[in-house]
Amino acid sequence: MSKLVIVSNRVPSAAVGRSSAGGLAVGVLDALKRQDGLWFGWNGKIEENPAEAGLSTYRIGRLDCATTSLSREEYDAYYRGFSNGTLWPAFHYRVDLARYASREYAGYIAVNERMASMLMELVDEDDRIWVHDYHLIPFARACRRKGLRNRIGFFLHTPFPSEGVLRTIPPHRELVEALCDYDLVGFQTRGDAQAFLDYATRRLGLPLDADGVLRTRSRRVRVGHYPIGILPDEIQNKSKARSRSKLVTTLKQGLQERKLIISVDRLDYSKGLVERFNAFERLLETYPSHCGRVSFLQIAPPSRSDVEGYRHIRRQLESTAGHINGRWTELSWTPIRYMNRAYDRAALLSFFRASQVGFVTPLRDGMNLVAKEYVAAQAPEDPGVLVLSEFAGAADELADGAIIVNPYDIEAMACALHRALNMPLPERLERHGHMMQLLRDNSIRQWRDHFLADLEPLAVAA
Ligand code: ADQ
């Protein structure tokens, strides 16, 4: 029987399972853990001669996992270098933070080649292959060179930049050509898909059919947008079940009836954390009635701390939080609580439910699952308000329910916080009901089913 093969840079360990802080792992697990299949990728370990060490295998739910390690050189060039030093910043429009080294790009290609060779041993003729994210753009190309003819789909979890920004990555043309070796290329939003199509049609001169299918010399490449979702009802039940836990009781005791604004992110410069801290301070300056009556909790565990740019954002944030707290703290009130640690997801959901405002303001984000989780975790009879950046993919769906802000506009964000903190119950109920319905209609199951249906062979054109 044919199986579904998932390929991603990182495969969570069996023990870590659901508590991993990362959108891809959370999304893929929610979508696929109850179906048979194979998940192939890096196990997070660095060792000498990983190619000779072979694969480690284990199971998560019904998924078989097969993983490989990386050598130090591979890690430096492929992961730390081209993936996270070049592609991640450029795809998030931070060309000021992106650097390029041809040696790292060569390492990126080489790891894709090696991983493709390992996968060849695990794949049967009629298996479907679903490749995830920017680390693996040339994966299908490597597989095709080795003779693999299976259907291969690619989903990009990050934004796809417009041509002007994409061209700051020197091998931009090769990257887009490599994407054209997939049968299906999926993006989070219509805008991302359009940016890719613009490049492919204008720069590569590829013809585009009316139904969004690109024609190359060797294949027809379907291109679409598949906004990743969550399991809203499961999240609602979990947040309710944990709403009287010891952690939440402690949180509420510390708040002493104050309102709570919450933000939860991986510590990443794309998430707009410094601007957010400044907006909270502007709220206190502009609307002093909130002083002593509102606290802001930011949970942001460090990620990729060995990549340049991440150490800097951490220092910057610590100094901003220190400065604001130094200025505003009173004996019985600390305005910003900034925590550098991860919590398990159930705990986070219960914190969301205990907060009156979810403050989600990335400068750029493919989707941002935290925004959706915040909405789903609310008590339906007394929901909090989502303040959301217009540059998160989630804003495409949640624009009518959330208060949408421009994260570069500190004053407007302060106004939005004020409005959210004062929003009357009927308006909160209406906005929340509307967003919950959208989340149910576009859940992670629809994401999976829609993508996999489109990965099926295209009908032969007349
Ligand atoms: P991320 O950049 O990791 O994901 P996001 O979509 O917000 O961002 O997903 C984070 C996931 O990890 C959420 O489920 C969240 O609950 C969890 N998480 C975040 N911070 C955490 C913390 N401090 N402790 C524990 N868990 C935490 C990438 C893209 C996004 C895209 C997702 C999915 O960058 O744009 O939405 O993939 O496609």
Q: Over range 364-382, report the average pLDDT.
A: 98
> On the CB side of 387, how many CA atoms lie within 13 Å of its CA?
29
What does the pLDDT read at residue 434?
98
Specify the 3-state DSSP secondary structure of 461.
coil
Instruction: Output the residue whose Cα is nearest ligand 1's atom 2.
Output: 23
Q: Which residues contact 49 (CB under 8 A, 6 or more apart)?
A: 71
The reply to whether 15 falls in a domain is: yes
Atom of ligand 1 nearest to the CA of 342: 24
Instruction: Output the residue whose Cα is nearest ligand 1's atom 33.
Output: 23
Q: Over range 76-90, report the average pLDDT.
A: 97
Evaluate if residue 18 carries a pLDDT over 50: no
Residues 348 and 370 in one domain: yes
What does the pLDDT read at residue 62?
82
Burial 273-305 (b: 16+ CB within 10 A, else e): bbbbbbbbbbbbeebeebeeebbbbbbbebebe
Mean residue pLDDT across the chain? 94
Q: Which residue has the tokens 């540059």?
A: 391
The reply to whether 382 falls in a domain is: yes
Distance, CA 391 to ligand 1 centroid (Å)? 15
Distance, CA 21 to ligand 1 centroid (Å)? 6
Residues 165 and 261 in one domain: no
Asked if 132 and 8 count as a contact pair (C-beta separation under 8 A), the reply is yes
Domain of 384, in residue numbers: 232-441
Specify the 3-state DSSP secondary structure of 419.
helix
Atom of ligand 1 nearest to the CA of 268: 2
Instruction: Output the residue whose Cα is nearest ligand 1's atom 32.
Output: 23
Q: How far is CA 196 from the centre of its chain?
A: 19
What does the pLDDT read at residue 23?
61
Which tokens belong to 386? 């989502």
Which tokens belong to 228? 């990743």
Describe the chain by its helix, strand, coil percentages, rounded to 5: 45, 20, 35
Strand partners, 223: 185
What does the pLDDT read at residue 86?
98
Per residue in 393-452, pLDDT (tens digit) is: 999 999 999 999 999 999 999 999 999 999 999 999 999 999 999 999 999 999 999 999
Asked if 431 and 387 count as a contact pair (C-beta separation under 8 A), the reply is no
Number of domains in the chain: 2
Of the pLDDT bands very low, low, confident and very high (cuts 50, 70, 90), residue 460 is low
Asked if 208 and 201 count as a contact pair (C-beta separation under 8 A), the reply is yes
Q: Over range 40-66, report the average pLDDT.
A: 91
Per residue in 175-232, pLDDT (tens digit) is: 999 999 999 999 999 999 999 999 999 999 999 998 889 999 999 999 999 999 999 9
Residues 25 and 160 in one domain: yes
Evaluate if residue 19 carries a pLDDT over 90: no
C-alpha distances in Å from residue 315, one per residue of 157, 267, 274, 312: 27, 11, 11, 5
Distance, CA 216 to ligand 1 centroid (Å)? 34
DSSP 364-382: SBS--HHHHHHHHHS-TTS
Asked if 340 and 302 count as a contact pair (C-beta separation under 8 A), the reply is yes
Distance, CA 235 to ligand 1 centroid (Å)? 15
Which tokens belong to 458? 């295209």
* Helix runs in 295-354, H state only: 310-328, 345-353
Angle CA(446)–CA(447)–CA(448) in degrees, nearest 5?
A: 90
Residues 430 and 333 in one domain: yes
Residues 185 and 295 in one domain: no
The reply to whether 450 falls in a domain is: no
Of the pLDDT bands very low, low, confident and very high (cuts 50, 70, 90), residue 31 is confident
Asked if 432 and 375 count as a contact pair (C-beta separation under 8 A), the reply is yes
Distance, CA 277 to ligand 1 centroid (Å)? 19
What does the pLDDT read at residue 214?
97
Of the pLDDT bands very low, low, confident and very high (cuts 50, 70, 90), residue 458 is confident
C-alpha span between 71 and 174 (Å, rounded): 25
Residues 324 and 401 in one domain: yes
Of 85, 82, 227, give the one whose Cα is nearest residue 157.
227
Active site residues: 157, 365
* Ligand 1 probe mutation, 9, 24, 26, 92, most atoms within 8 A of CB: 26
- Domain end residue (candidates: 167, 202, 226): 226
Report the range of poorest mean pLDDT among 16-20, 31-35, 234-238, 311-315: 16-20
Residues 218 and 272 in one domain: no
Of 158, 162, 155, 178, give the one whose Cα is nearest residue 226.
155
Residues 57 and 107 in one domain: yes
- CATH code of residue 427: 3.40.50.2000
> On the CB side of 286, how many CA atoms lie within 13 Å of its CA?
16
Beta strand extents in 133-275 (DSSP E only): 152-155, 184-187, 213-215, 220-225, 259-264
State the pTM of this model: 0.96
Q: Over range 27-40, report the average pLDDT.
A: 78
Report the range of poorest mean pLDDT among 45-54, 379-388, 399-408, 444-453: 45-54
Distance, CA 262 to ligand 1 centroid (Å)? 15
What does the pLDDT read at residue 21?
47
The reply to whether 322 falls in a domain is: yes
Evaluate if residue 462 carries a pLDDT over 50: no
Residues 37 and 185 in one domain: yes
Q: What are phi and psi of 220, to 5 degrees?
A: -105, 125
* Ligand 1 probe mutation, 8, 239, 266, most atoms within 8 A of CB: 266
Residues 368 and 325 in one domain: yes
Of 314, 334, 339, give the one whose Cα is nearest residue 324.
334
Instruction: Output the residue whose Cα is nearest ligand 1's atom 35.
Output: 366
* Ligand 1 probe mutation, 88, 368, 369, 373, most atoms within 8 A of CB: 369
Instruction: Output the residue whose Cα is nearest ligand 1's atom 27.
Output: 21
Atom of ligand 1 nearest to the CA of 271: 2
Residues 152 and 267 in one domain: no
- The binding-site residues of ligand 1, defined as CB within 6 angstroms of any ligand atom, are 21-24, 26-27, 157-158, 228, 264-266, 299, 301, 342-343, 345, 348, 365-370, 373
Q: Over range 273-292, report the average pLDDT.
A: 98
What does the pLDDT read at residue 54?
87
Atom of ligand 1 nearest to the CA of 26: 14
Residues 193 and 119 in one domain: yes
What does the pLDDT read at residue 320?
97
Atom of ligand 1 nearest to the CA of 266: 20
Asked if 416 and 409 count as a contact pair (C-beta separation under 8 A), the reply is no
The reply to whether 448 falls in a domain is: no
